[in-house]
Amino acid sequence: MTKQQTFAEAMAELEGIVQKLEQGEVPLEEAIDLYKKGMELSHFCHVKLQNAEQQLISVVNENGEKQPFEQTSDRGNAE
């Protein structure tokens, strides 16, 4: 990864690797390299998701103060 990939780019590349490996027609050496690259991409995506989650855990209120994000228990229920 010479340039910083986006999450979407990394996921697309990871999906391509998974498809190649699932086909089972990849030489062993290439399969090992693909597996390693897939693990790197998986870690990259996991870190990106963790960072996004941390940003969403707290929100900034109208006074510019951080406060915990409160989830409502009735999500999706129409009143």
Tens digits of residue pLDDT in 31-43: 999 999 999 999 9
Tens digits of residue pLDDT in 22-31: 999 999 999 9
The whole domain housing 64 covers 7-68
Asked if residue 53 is part of any domain, the answer here is yes
Q: Which amino acid is at 26?
A: V
For residue 41, with 0-12 CB atoms within 10 Å meaning exposed, 13-18 middle and 19 or more buried, which class applies? Answer: buried
Asked if residue 78 is part of any domain, the answer here is no
Asked if residue 2 is part of any domain, the answer here is no
Number of domains in the chain: 1
pLDDT for residue 26: 93
CATH number at residue 34: 1.10.287
Asked if residue 73 is part of any domain, the answer here is no
Instruction: Give residues with Cβ within 8 angstroms of 5, minimum separation 6.
Output: 13, 44
